Amino acid sequence: MTIEQFLIQYHPGLSQYCTAVIDRDGDIEACQVSHLKTMIEMYGDPDILSKIPEGNSPLFWLVNHLHCVLVDYENQLYSGELTGAQQQALEALAMHGLICENRKNIHGHN
C-alpha cells in the first residue's frame, strides 16, 4: 500500500512499535509476523530460503535482492542507496512519530 494509505490505516497497539517493509517504489507493507516472512511474500517464491546461498543471512540477502527497507521503531535497515520514494516514506513515518529515524546500511556505510 502507499505510505498515505498506511498512515491512515495503521493503528499501533499498546506501543508505538512499527514493523514494516518499504519496497523500492516507496510502498509499505506492515509485518504481521516478521520482517523475514513479509519479505518472502514480497519475493513471491515460498521456497526462496532453500535457494539462498549457504553462509548468507536470509534477512540481508532478501534486503539486498528486493532493494527494500526494513522498518521498526528504532532502526531502518537497507542495502545500497535509498530511492527517493523510500526516503519520502521514511520521512513520513518519522513525521507521524511512528519511527525514530536511525537508518543503517547493511554494508556498513550510511
Its pTM surpasses 0.75: yes
pLDDT on residue 25? 97
50 falls within a domain:
yes
Grid cell 498506511 is found at 6
- DSSP helix/strand/coil, 28: strand
Provide the pLDDT confidence category of residue 14 given band limits of 50, 70 and 90. very low
12 falls within a domain:
yes
99 falls within a domain:
yes
Average pLDDT score, the chain: 90
pLDDT on residue 97? 86
Q: How far apart are CA 92 and CA 45, in angstroms?
A: 30
Average pLDDT of the residues in 2-7: 84
Q: Provide the domain count of the chain.
A: 1
Q: How far apart are CA 67 and CA 63, in angstroms?
A: 6
Residue 15 scores a pLDDT above 60: no
Q: How far apart are CA 19 and CA 76, in angstroms?
A: 10
110 falls within a domain:
no
23 falls within a domain:
yes
| Ramachandran sector of residue 55 (left: φ over 0; alpha: ψ -120 to 50; beta: rest) | left
